[in-house]
Amino acid sequence: MDAYMEFLTDFGVDIRRDIKAAECTMINRTIPYGGTSDIWARLRFPAPTSPIMPRFKPRAVPAGPIPTPSGLWLVDLKTSLTKPASAVYDDHLMQLAALRHAEVALICPPECRYGESENHDASHEFPVPEFVGTAILNLRTNGYGFVPLPADRDAFDAFCGLIPLAHYESLHRRGDAAPVQRSLPVRRGR
């Protein structure tokens, strides 16, 4: 919570004014998939690019400024007691790309939370807005890391390519996979 409050202060975020949605379910019926986004936040940056925090400058890659357009950002919060505030993973990018390219977002009463009940109707759905950016917000006991990730069309195409893999994996659990030996064990000494 301290790290989250710190982020809100540093980035000039007023919750009532700037947080447009929280825990919003987003659906793409064409592909199909669904998921829940953490926050949609209207962020204001003083410049179109922002410098990397000095303590997270990568050693191998030249550290250039990162695009930070002002506008509506799709932000996913990640908490951890062990990982650094700079940690991002490929699946974070896939997750953001999927949510950004969802078709509709839901504002449902509790009884039709996932849009699949008899109570649900189109008045609970609205088109997903354009996001100017997508980011991971890492929350740690010693601070936060706001990490923009390019969840663009290429990332979305990659996500779509993974869906058959996810289906296959869910249908074919590997719990019965184990090393075998060629013959029965020889019992020694009775």
Query: Which residues are near Zn ion by CB under 5 A?
Result: 108, 112, 120, 124
DSSP code at position 30: T
Query: Phi and psi for 42 in degrees, rounded to 5?
Result: -85, 115
CB 108 within 8 A of CB 25: yes
CB 94 within 8 A of CB 74: no
- The least CB distance from residue 101 to Zn ion, in Å, is 21
CB 107 within 8 A of CB 43: no
- The b/e string for 120-157 (b: 16+ C-beta within 10 A; e otherwise) is beeebbeebeebbbbbbbbbbeebbbbbbbebeeebbe
DSSP code at position 11: T
Q: Which is nearer to Zn ion, 26 or 137 (CB)?
A: 26
Q: Which is nearer to Zn ion, 104 or 112 (CB)?
A: 112
Reference 11, options 43, 52, 40; nearest CA is 43
Q: Which is nearer to Zn ion, 8 or 104 (CB)?
A: 104
Q: Which is nearer to Zn ion, 128 or 139 (CB)?
A: 128
- The least CB distance from residue 119 to Zn ion, in Å, is 6
- The least CB distance from residue 128 to Zn ion, in Å, is 16
- The least CB distance from residue 60 to Zn ion, in Å, is 48
| Number of residues that this document lists for the chain | 190
- The least CB distance from residue 118 to Zn ion, in Å, is 10
- The least CB distance from residue 24 to Zn ion, in Å, is 12
Q: Which is nearer to Zn ion, 22 or 158 (CB)?
A: 22
Q: Which is nearer to Zn ion, 88 or 112 (CB)?
A: 112
SS3 state of residue 92: helix
Q: Which amino acid is at 26?
A: M
CA distances from 178 to 41, 166, 186 (A): 47, 22, 20
